[in-house]
Amino acid sequence: MLHVVLIVRDQSEELSCLLHRLEDLDLPLRVLVVDDGSKDGTAQVVENHPGLRDRLGLVQHVRRHGCGLALAAGLRRVLQNGTPATDLVLTLPPHDKLEAASLAGLLRRLEAGMEVVVGTRRVDGGSRAHRAPVRNFWDRFLTGLLRFFFPLPGVFDYTSGVQGFRLSALERAFALHGRNLVTFSGEAGTVELLIRLGQMGARMGEVPWAEGPGTPGPRHGVSLAAVWESVWMVLALAGPWRRSRAGQSAPDNRS
């Protein structure tokens, strides 16, 4: 079973398109939408979607938690209802047009034994959605910084919104860290999840991710709050990471 987790905030139109594409896939899947405080009727899109039926679920936050904490909430829900020994999990940004060949490549890597697979647009075979220049610069700078402090074997694109997991790896991660698995509320939280899994020694890799034609980039560029959160994440996690790579156990809580 493939569990698709979608974190959405005020993106009802994009969500509706992606749900229709997921409905057309010839795969045993369940879709969980985490509505992170939307004001545009996102919940109604889920409730009124004609397809997927009992395979479509909704977690609704009355107020905004941030995509990192919303993702953690979605993964906990999947873990409650899934079968860790066999199930896979995929996270996608709601604006993704979901190119079927790219999805097949990612799932093959997971089924072959990888525990974490990132879909990247930064290698041959990938395609990058249009983004503001400042967003492209920030993603590249942050990726370089993260690769220096937290080298993850097999992974170079830390900021991709496309991530695949074996549910068994997430089960081990939640058992080890509990609610401290993801502590940063925004996009830094999705990177934190990768780093935590890397600390555990999860088998990780990447595949090219090509989006369908006409796929827009994220609506926003990068805010000062997001920059600060990412810098704080690096400072908070760098010490535990270095100690764990030296053969000591990394602490569960940030100092």
Between the alpha carbon of residue 225 and those of residues 161, 194, 215, 230, the distances in Å are 19, 21, 26, 9
Q: Which domain holds residue 204?
A: 2-245
Residue by residue, what is the 3-state secondary structure of 86-116?
A: CCEEEEECCCCCCCHHHHHHHHHHHHCCCCE
Looking at the predicted structure, is the pLDDT value of residue 253 above 50? no
Closest CA to 168 of 68, 69, 75, 106: 75
Beta pairing partners, 154: none
**Could you give the CA distance from residue 243 to residue 211 in angstroms, rounded to a whole number?**
38
Instruction: Round to whole Å and give the CA distance between 145 and 130.
Output: 23
Asked if residue 211 belongs to a domain, the reply is yes
Residue that has been written with the tokens 């170079």 in this structure: 156
Q: Is residue 70 part of a domain?
A: yes
pTM: 0.85
Residue 251 burial (CB count, 10 A)? 12
Does any domain span residue 132?
Answer: yes
Number of independent structural domains in the chain: 1
Arithmetic mean of pLDDT over the chain: 85
> What is the per-residue pLDDT for 236?
87
9 domain-assigned: yes
Q: Is residue 18 part of a domain?
A: yes
CATH value at residue 240: 3.90.550.10
Look at strands 163-166 and 88-92 and give their pairing: antiparallel
SS3 of 188, please?
helix
pLDDT for the residue numbered 227: 86
Percentage of residues of the chain with pLDDT beyond 90 = 52
| Mean pLDDT in residue range 185-199 | 93
pLDDT of residue 121: 79
pLDDT of residue 240: 57
- Bigger pLDDT: 216 or 248? 216
In this structure, is residue 252 part of a structural domain?
no
Backbone dihedral region for residue 191 (phi beyond 0: left; psi -120 to 50: alpha; all else: beta): alpha
pLDDT tens for each residue of 26-75: 899 999 999 999 988 888 889 888 888 789 999 999 889 999 999 999 99
How far apart (Å, rounded) are the C-alpha atoms in residues 163 and 89? 8
Cβ-based neighbours of 51, under 8 Å, separated by 6 or more = 19, 20, 23
Please report whether residue 32 resides in a domain.
yes
φ, ψ for residue 215 (rounded to 5)? Answer: -70, 125
- Locate tokens 């072959």: which residue? 112
The predicted structure's pLDDT at residue 220 = 53
